Amino acid sequence: MNTVVPLRQDAKVIGLVGMAHASSHFSHMLLSPLFPLFIKDFGLSYTQLGLLTTVFFVVSGIGQALGGFLVDRVGARPVLFGSLCLFILACLVAASATGYPGLIVVSVLAGLGNSPFHPVDFSIMNQRVSAPRLGYAFSFHGITGQLGWALATVFFVGISSLANWRAAYAGAALLMAVVLLVLVLNSSKLHTEVVVRNADGSHAGGGSDLGFLKLPVVWWCFGFFLLSTMTLAVVQSFSVSILKALHGVSFAAASTTITAYMLCGATGILLGGVVAARHPQHSDKVVATCMTAAALCLALCATGWLGALGTMVVLAGTGFAIGIGGPSRDMMIKKATPKGATGRVYGTVYSGLDVGFAIAPVLFGLLMDKGHYAATLAGAALVLLLSVGAALGVGRRTVAR
C-alpha cells in the first residue's frame, strides 16, 4: 500500500494485528508460569519441564517456515483464525491434563498455533497499513508482544492462586475465544491478497515458491534473528541465577530485574517506532548501533565491576537498547523481502527466532552447569555482536539486490 489512508483505518488494522500478536506471546507462556505446580501435582523434573519449552519452539520453528508458504497461498486471515483455534484447543487440553503426556500435547498444539503468526502479522501490516505509518505499526506490534508475555504470568498465577490451575486454563481458552470473535467480526480489515499463479503453479511474475531461498539476504536475515534471539534467551533463562551467584542478589530482586528488562524493552520499542518511521532507509545501521550498545552493556555486566545494583540497572537498560532497534529490525526485513514473497520470507526468517530460543538454553546451560556465570553473560554479549555483522550484511545485500 503506497497511498496514505485515514489514520483511523490504519489504527484499526494495527490494533487488531497487535491483539493477535499479544495472543501469540501469551501462548509462549502457556506452561512455564505453572511449572512449580506441575512439579507438585505430577512429580516432574526440571529436565522434563525444560523439554516442554524445547518442544514448543522446535514445533513453532518448523511450522513458522512452512506457515509462510501457506499464508502466501491462502491469505493471512484464515491462517490466523486457525492458529487461534489451536490455542483454544491447547488450553482445553491443558485444563484436562492428567500427566506429562498431556502437557507434551499442549506444547505441540501451542507451538503449531504460534508458528504462523509472524508471516500472518507482517503480511497484513505490509499490505493494509500505509507506508508512512509502518514504523509505528511495527513498534506497536513489538509492544503488544511484550504485553502478551507480561499478561500470561499474571493471568495464570493469579487465577491459580484464587482457584486452581485447571480453572486458569479454562479461563485462557475463554480469553482466546473472545480474541477470535473480535477478529472474526473485523475480518474485512485482515484480508490479504494471495500470490497470483500461472497454470503450471509458478508465480505470475515468474519463479517458484522456493526461489527466494536462493537469495543470500534471506539467510543473513535468518542469521540475525538466530543470533540476537540467543542473547534474549540467555537473559530470560539464566539472568536470575547469574545475579544470585555473582552478587548474592535475592530471588525477588533478580526477578524484578527481568521485569525491568521487559519494561525497558517496551519503552525502547516506543522510541524505536519513531526512529523507524523517520529513518527507514537506515534501518540496518540503526539495528547495528542498538545491538552494539546492548552488547557492550552485557559485557560490562560480565566484568562484575558494577556491583549488584549497578549490574541490575545496566542489565535492565540492555532491554531499552534492544527495544529501540526492534521496529527498525522489522523494517530491515521488509526492505529485504522480494515482492510477492512476504509470507514465505517472514516465515523462514523469523523461524530463526524459534531456533535461537531452542538452542541457547542448551549451549549456555553447559557454561552455567560448570559455574561459569560471568562467561555466560560475556558469551551472550559476543553472540549479540555477531548479530551486528549480520544486520550490516543484510543492509549491504539489500542495496545490492
Residue 195 has what pLDDT? 63
**Integer Cα distance of 84 and 170 in angstroms:** 15
Maximum alpha-carbon separation in the chain: 67
Q: Say if 203 falls within a structural domain.
A: no
Cell of 366: 553447559
Domain identity same for 181 and 223: no
Altogether, the residues listed in the chain come to a count of: 401
Q: Say if 193 falls within a structural domain.
A: no
For range 121-137, the mean pLDDT: 87
CA 218 to chain centre: 18
Domain identity same for 138 and 283: no
Residue 369 has what pLDDT? 79
Cβ neighbours, 10 Å, residue 96: 10
Share of the chain above pLDDT 70, in %: 92
47, pLDDT greater than 80? no
Where is the domain boundary, 187, 219, 246? 187
Q: What's the pLDDT band for 199 if we cut at 50, 70, 90?
A: very low
Residue 42 has what pLDDT? 92
Q: Which of 83-97, 107-121, 148-162, 298-312 has the lowest mean pLDDT?
A: 148-162
Q: What's the pLDDT band for 399 if we cut at 50, 70, 90?
A: low
201, pLDDT greater than 70? no
Q: Give the amino acid at 57.
A: F
Q: What's the pLDDT band for 46 if we cut at 50, 70, 90?
A: low
User: 116 φ, ψ to 5°?
Assistant: -90, 5
Q: Find the domain containing 374 and state its range.
A: 211-400
Q: Say if 79 falls within a structural domain.
A: yes
366, pLDDT greater than 50? yes
Domain identity same for 250 and 162: no
Cell of 26: 501469551
Where is the domain boundary, 187, 221, 245? 187
Count of domains forming the chain: 2
Residue 206 has what pLDDT? 47
Look up the pTM and report it: 0.75
Cell of 150: 507480561
Domain identity same for 160 and 292: no
Domain identity same for 180 and 250: no
204, pLDDT greater than 80? no
Which of 99-108, 257-266, 353-362 reaches the highest mean pLDDT? 99-108
